[in-house]
Amino acid sequence: MQTKKLNEFPKDFLWGSSSAAFQIEGAAYEDGKGLSVMDVRKIKPEICDYSVASDHYHRYKEDIALMKECGLKAYRFSIAWTRIFPNGNGEVNPKGVAFYNDLIDELVKNGITPIVTIYHFEYPQGLIDQYGGWIDRRSIEDYVNYASFLFKTYGDRVKYWLTINEQDHVVHMPFRLGLTDENRREKEKLGFLANHNMCVATALAIEKCHELVEGGKIGPATCFETMYPTTNDPLDSLACMDAMEIRNYYLLDLTIKGEYNGTFRRYLEDRDMMPEIHPGDMEAMKANKPDFLAFNYYYSESISAFPLDDEHEIGDIEFKLLPSREAGIYQVVRNENLKATLWGWEIDEVGLQLAARLLWERYRLPLLITECGFGNKEVWPEEGILEDDDRIDYLTRHIRAVKEAMNVGVDFIGFCSWSFIDLISGHSGFSKRYGFVFVNRDEHDLKDMARRKKKSFYWYQKTIAENGENI
Ligand code: BGP
C-alpha cells in the first residue's frame, strides 16, 4: 500500500552485518579445533576449501575496527561448535573458548552488540562418527549441553542468541547432516527425522537460555522464500499455499507453535516420513517459545501446480539446491517479472515485505533480518575503489521493504546484511562476494588478504549514521 507517511526506524534499531564461522574464520585446523562436516566436505577443484577463508581468526581486531568505523550497531556471527568441543561433546578446548571470549570482548569494547548463532551448518564430524549425528536422539543432549556451555560462558555479554541457522536447508541438504548426497529422495526421510530432533533440541536450549542468561533472548534463524502463484489459475494458488506450508511454515509452526501443521503432517504420512514422536517432545516445543523470529531473505520463488500424471507419482521429487518440484504439489518456475543475480537468485524486495508481514501475522513475534545481501563477482579496479552500485541498490530496496513493513505495524528489531567483509560463499567459493569490505584474495591465490573499503561501505556508514532516513 502506498501511504502518505513512512515511519522512521526506531532509535535502537540494530543495524548490523552477519557471518558464519566456517565462511570467515579460517584457521580450520588450528588451536585444537575439531573437524566439522564442512571441513570434510568434498569441494569441487575450481573452488576453495574453508581452511583459510577470510582469515578472520587472526584478523578479527582489524575487522572489528572496520565495523566500528562503519558504525555497525550489531554483529551476528556463529560459534564453531568444534572450536569449543572438538568432538562435539566431551572435552572442552580452552583455546577455542578464549577466542570467542576475546572476540566478544572486542565487540563490546567497540559498542557493537553481539548476536550469536549457536550452530551454523558446521556440525561436528565427531558426532557423526559416534552415532550418526542429528538422525540419532543422542544429538539432542549434545546440542543442549553445548548451547548451555555457551550460555554460561558468554551469557554475561551476549543477550541475543540464535538456535540453528537455516534448519530448513540443513534438512534438505544431506551433506550438512553428514550424509552422502546420493539418492536424495531417500534422504528426505532422514532429513525430517533430523528436523524433529533439532526441534526438540532447540526447544530445550530455549529453556536453558531463559534459565542461564539474564535478560537473554533467543530465536530461530530460518530462511524464508516468499512464494507467488505463477498465474491466476486457482490450482497455482493452491500449489503455492501447499509449498509455503511444507517448505516455509512447517518448521516455524513446530518451533513457535509446537505443532506439525495439517498439510505438513499429511505430506509426511503420505510418504511414510513421519518421525516417531517421543513422550514430552511436543510439550517441550509448546512450552518454550522463542522471543523473536530471525530470518534470512535473498529471493522469492514463483510456483505452479505440478499434478500427478502417468509418469509422476506421489513421492517424486527433484532438487536444485533445495527441492524444486514435487509431483502432486508444486514446481518452482522462473519469474519473468524479476531480474536475477549471476547465480539466478531472483531479486525481489517486495517479497521481503511480504515475508515480514506474513510472518508477523502468523506468529506475532518481533522480527530480525539475520541475512540479506547481494552476491557478485568482483575485481578490485586498478584505480579508485570498487563501485558496487548493484549491491547498494539491492540493499536500499530491501531496507526500504523493511521500513514499509514496519509502517504497517510489523515489529522489527534490526537488519543484518550478509556480509560485512567478503567471505566464502556456501556453494560458490570466494568468487561470490557479498561484503562492504573487499578481501584481497582469489579462489586459490591467497595474496595479502588486505581489507579494502568498497563504495557500499560508505553507503552503509551513512545509512546507519542517518538511522535509515536516506532510504
Ligand atoms: C545462507 C547461509 C549463509 C550464506 C548465504 C549466501 O543460506 O545461511 O551461510 O552462505 O546463504 O549463500 P551463498 O553463499 O550460497 O551465496
DSSP string, 39-68: HHS---TTS--SSSTT-HHHHHHHHHHHHH
For the cut 90, the answer to whether the pLDDT of residue 166 exceeds it is yes
DSSP per-residue codes, 400-437: HHHHHHHHTT--EEEEEEE-SB---BTTTBTTSB--SE
Report residue 326 CA to chain centroid gap: 24
Question: Which protein residue has the closest C-alpha to ligand 1 atom 14?
Answer: 425
| Neighbour-count burial for 66-83, b at 16+ CB within 10 Å, e otherwise | bbeebebbbbbbbbbbbb
Q: Check: CB of residue 257 under 8 Å from CB of residue 283.
A: no
**Predicted confidence band of residue 143 (pLDDT cuts 50, 70, 90):** very high
Confidence of residue 181 (pLDDT cuts 50, 70, 90): confident
Residue 419 Cα to ligand 1 midpoint, Å, equals: 10
Q: Which atom in ligand 1 lies closest to the alpha carbon of residue 165? A: 8
Predicted confidence (pLDDT) per residue in 190-238, tens digit:
999 999 999 999 999 999 999 999 999 999 999 999 999 999 999 999 9
CA distances from 356 to 153, 203, 242 (A): 33, 23, 19
pLDDT for position 2 = 86
For the segment 358-376, the average pLDDT, to the nearest whole number, is 98
Q: What are the beta bridge partners of residue 16?
A: 74, 416
> For atom 10 of ligand 1, which residue has the closest CA?
426
Cα–Cα distance between 169 and 176 in angstroms, integer?
Answer: 8
For ligand 1, the distance from its centroid to the CA atom of residue 425, given in whole angstroms, is 6
The residue whose CA is least distant from atom 4 of ligand 1 is 426
Atom of ligand 1 nearest to the CA of 427: 15
Pocket test for ligand 1, best of 418, 420, 428 (most atoms within 8 A of CB): 418
Query: 433: exposed, middle or buried (C-beta count within 10 Å: 0-12, 13-18, 19+)?
Result: buried
Q: pLDDT tens-digit profile of 413-429?
A: 999 999 999 999 999 99
Tell whether the model's pLDDT for residue 157 goes beyond 90. yes
d(CA 333, CA 319): 13
> Which residue is listed with cell 567471505?
423
Rounded CA-CA distance 79/21 in Å is 6
Provide the mean pLDDT of the chain: 97
| SS3 label, residue 392 | helix
- Whether the full predicted model's pTM is greater than 0.75, yes or no, is yes
Nearest protein CA to atom 2 of ligand 1, as residue: 426
Give the span between the Cα atoms of 417 and 204, in whole angstroms. Answer: 29
Query: How many whole angstroms from 270 Cα to the centroid of ligand 1?
Result: 32
Among all chains, which residue has been given the C-alpha cell 579445533? 33
- Catalytic member of 349, 371, 378, 404: 371
The amino acid that residue 373 corresponds to is: G
Query: How far is the CA of 64 from the CAs of 68, 77, 164, 349, 449, in angstroms?
Result: 6, 12, 24, 29, 15
Q: Which three cell numbers stand for residue 122?
A: 558446521
Q: Is the backbone of residue 378 left (phi > 0), alpha (psi -120 to 50) or beta?
A: beta
Query: What does the pLDDT read at residue 12?
Result: 97
CA proximity to 126, closest of 89, 172, 71: 89
Instruction: Give the mutation target among 425, 427, 432, 433 for probing the ligand 1 site: most ligand atoms within 8 A of CB.
Output: 425
The mean per-residue pLDDT over the stretch 5-15 comes to 94
Residue 166 appears among annotated catalytic residues: yes
C-alpha of residue 77 to centroid of ligand 1, in Å: 13
CB within 8 Å of 407: residues ≥ 6 apart = 3, 5, 6, 7
253-296 pLDDT per residue, tens: 999 999 999 999 999 999 999 999 999 999 999 999 999 999 99
Atom 9 of ligand 1: nearest residue by CA position:
426
Name all residues whose Cβ lies below 6 A of ligand 1. Answer: 20, 23, 165-166, 169, 223, 296, 371, 375, 418, 425-428, 432
Neighbours of 154 (CB within 10 A): 20
| pLDDT at residue 389, as a whole number | 98
Backbone angles phi and psi of 453, in degrees to 5: -80, 125
Per-residue pLDDT band for 400 (boundaries 50, 70, 90) equals: very high
Q: Answer yes or no: are the C-beta atoms of 374 and 419 closer than 8 Å.
A: no
Closest among 444, 367, 427 to 401, alpha carbons compared: 367
Q: Distances in Å between the alpha carbon of 215 and those of 147, 225, 314?
A: 16, 31, 47
102 — pLDDT class (breaks 50, 70, 90): very high
DSSP 317-380: EEESSSEEEETTEEEEE--TTS-B-TT-PBP-HHHHHHHHHHHHHHH---EEEEE----B----
Can 336 be counted among the known catalytic residues? no
Atom 5 of ligand 1: nearest residue by CA position:
426
pLDDT over 90 at 167, yes or no: yes
> Considering only CA atoms, which residue is closest to atom 3 of ligand 1?
426
Task: Determine the atom of ligand 1 nearest the C-alpha atom of 223.
Answer: 7
Distance 344 CA to ligand 1 centre (A): 14
Query: What distance in Å separates the CA atoms of residue 387 and residue 351, rounded to the nearest whole number?
Result: 26
Secondary structure of residue 396 in the 3-state scheme = helix
User: CA separation (Å) from 153 to 140, 147, 158?
Assistant: 20, 10, 9
pLDDT digits (tens, 9 = 90+) for 23-76: 999 999 999 999 999 999 989 999 999 999 999 999 999 999 999 999 999 999
Residue percentage of the chain with pLDDT more than 90: 96
- Cβ proximity of 198 and 146 under 8 Å: no
Place of cell 530465536: 219
In ligand 1, the atom with minimum distance to the C-alpha of 373 is 6
